[in-house]
């Protein structure tokens, strides 16, 4: 009979590993649904035929991408339920606003083809664009308020990080759309992606400088961490610009994904060892009992590889460009 530990963790560092798992789940969501948001943002600037092509480009994967938002909430609840409760209690209006923005985006894309009416199509397209802009912005506001322990919805760091998330989503969406499209539409998203990359670097520089110099506090990035993140971001942005100019779109997407990893990593690194800065709770203070975390770890070790394998298969099946403007 297996002696399953109930009084101690399977690994001494298990609480810290689950802290990293929380941000891994969120970072994966930001990366995957980020390019969905970006395609929605970019669709505001293309003709109806191009918009249909862009919708078809991410149609098979966007619902699957949202699994990572559910997984993020599940992981946070399973490991740090008091933090989950505190965040939803303090920022419940913001959480509902995020859900509303996600719903607006979904309705805009799904109802677009239900009526052959120019007015209806315009309304749906505008809803889709609005939801695609608001979703990453509000997610950024949520992350900033969690990061800096703010209890009000709109704050200066919240607005700044929200704009950073919108710019990053635009970069990711442009890179993904460039892989999936051809011709004039591809050139257009490359141009927009180049502009968004420059804007992202500028916004990150201003936001991180504000966090270090003005915001301060225990969760503000240290000058060393901020400097390292800035250097890596500039290097990745340079690689992205070079890839755009030479038409190496997959390499551009990898560089954009790296920028997302650096951003989420900076937030996690700056916050640690706190997991709820507003209440001063550290990882070891907020984590669940050893038995609960051990059981959750067994489930995670079983099912997360299955989820990852599913995504590998999904993106392998739909790896090519959109051929006829409406399908793969």
Q: Terminus-to-terminus CA distance in the chain, angstroms?
A: 52
Residues contacting residue 140 through CB under 8 Å, at least 6 positions apart: 158, 161, 162, 163, 164, 165, 166
- The mean per-residue pLDDT over the stretch 282-286 comes to 95
Q: In this predicted model, what pLDDT tens digit does every residue of 166-215 receive, in sequence order?
A: 999 999 999 999 999 888 999 999 999 999 999 999 999 999 999 998 88
3-state secondary structure the chain: CCCCCCCCCCCCCHHHHHHHHHHHHHHHHHHHHHHHHHHHHHHHHCCHHHHHHHHHHHCCCHHHHCHHHHHHHHHHHHHCHHHHHHHHHHCHHHHHHHHHHHHHHHHHHHCHHHCCCHHHHHHHHHHHHHHHHHHHHHHHHHHHHHHHCCCCCCCHHHHHHHHHHHHHHHHHHHHHHHHHCCHHHHHHHHHHHHHHHHHHHHHHHHHHHHHHHHHCCCCCCCHHHHHHHHHHHHHHHHHHHHHHHHCCHHHHHHHHHHHHHHHHHHHHHHHCCEEECCCCEEHHHHCCCHHHHHHHHHHHHHHHHHHHHHHHHHHHHCCCCCCCCCCC
Q: Give the fold, CATH level 3, of 14-318.
A: Formate dehydrogenase/DMSO reductase fold (1.20.1630)
Burial class (CB within 10 angstroms; exposed 0-12, middle 13-18, buried 19+) of 25:
buried
Can you tell me the distance from the alpha carbon of 172 to that of 159, in angstroms, rounded to the nearest whole number? 20
pLDDT interval class at 34 (50, 70, 90): very high
Whether 140 has a pLDDT exceeding 80, the answer reads yes
Instruction: Give the pLDDT score at 183.
Output: 86
Query: Residue 15: is its pLDDT beyond 50?
Result: yes
The pLDDT value recorded for residue 90 is 92
> What average pLDDT does this structure show over 232-242?
97
- Model pLDDT, residue 207: 94
How high is the pLDDT of residue 120?
80
Q: Say how many CA atoms lie within 13 Å of 43 toward its Cβ.
A: 32
Bond into 273 cis (ω within 30) = yes
What integer is the mean pLDDT of 285-314?
95
How far is residue 205's CA from residue 197's CA, in Å, rounded to a whole number? 12
For residue 185, give the nearest of 50, 57, 56 by alpha carbon. 50
Residue 171 in tokens: 């970069």
pLDDT(326) > 70: no
Beta bridge partners of 282: 274
Q: In the chain, where are the structural domains located?
A: 14-318
Least confident of 30-44, 54-68, 76-90, 312-326: 312-326
> What pLDDT does 1 receive?
46
pLDDT above 80 for 2 = no
Mean pLDDT to the nearest integer, 298-314: 95
Q: Per the structure block, which two tokens stand in for 270?
A: 């700056």
pLDDT averaged over every residue in the chain: 91
pLDDT at 4 over 80: no
Range scoring the smallest mean pLDDT among 48-57, 108-117, 171-180, 183-192: 108-117
Exposed, middle or buried by CB within 10 Å (0-12, 13-18, 19+), for 60?
middle
pLDDT at 324: 62
Tell me what percent of the residues of the chain surpass a pLDDT of 70. 96
Gyration radius from the chain CA atoms: 20
Distance CA 247, CA 242 (A): 9
């Amino acid at each position: 009979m297996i002696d399953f530990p109930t009084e101690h963790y399977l690994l001494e560092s298990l609480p810290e590993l689950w802290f990293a798992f929380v941000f891994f789940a969120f970072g994966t969501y930001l990366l995957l649904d980020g390019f969905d948001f970006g395609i929605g943002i970019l669709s505001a600037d293309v003709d109806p035929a191009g918009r249909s092509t862009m919708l078809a480009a991410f149609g098979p994967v966007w619902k699957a991408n949202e699994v990572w938002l559910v997984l993020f909430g599940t992981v946070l609840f399973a490991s740090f339920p008091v933090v989950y409760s505190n965040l939803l209690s303090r920022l419940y209006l913001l959480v509902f606003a995020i859900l509303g923005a996600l719903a607006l985006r979904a309705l805009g894309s799904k109802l677009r083809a239900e009526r052959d009416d120019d007015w209806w199509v315009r309304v749906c397209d505008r809803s889709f664009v609005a939801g695609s802009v608001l979703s990453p912005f509000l997610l950024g506001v949520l992350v900033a308020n969690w990061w800096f322990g703010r209890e009000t919805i709109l704050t200066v760091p919240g607005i700044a990080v929200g704009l950073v998330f919108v710019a990053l989503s635009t970069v990711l969406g442009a890179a993904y759309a460039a892989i999936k499209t051809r011709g004039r539409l591809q050139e257009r998203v490359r141009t927009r992606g180049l502009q968004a990359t420059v804007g992202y670097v500028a916004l990150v520089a201003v936001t991180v400088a504000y966090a270090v110099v003005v915001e301060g506090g225990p969760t503000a990035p240290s000058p060393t961490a901020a400097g390292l993140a800035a250097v890596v971001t500039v290097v990745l942005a340079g690689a992205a610009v070079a890839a755009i100019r030479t038409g190496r779109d997959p390499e551009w997407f990898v560089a954009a994904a790296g920028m997302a990893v650096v951003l989420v990593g900076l937030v996690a690194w700056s916050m640690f060892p706190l997991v709820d800065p507003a209440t001063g709770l550290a990882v070891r203070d907020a984590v669940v009992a050893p038995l609960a975390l051990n059981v959750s770890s067994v489930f995670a070790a079983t099912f997360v590889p299955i989820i990852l394998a599913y995504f590998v298969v999904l993106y392998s099946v739909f790896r090519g460009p959109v051929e006829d403007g409406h399908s793969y």
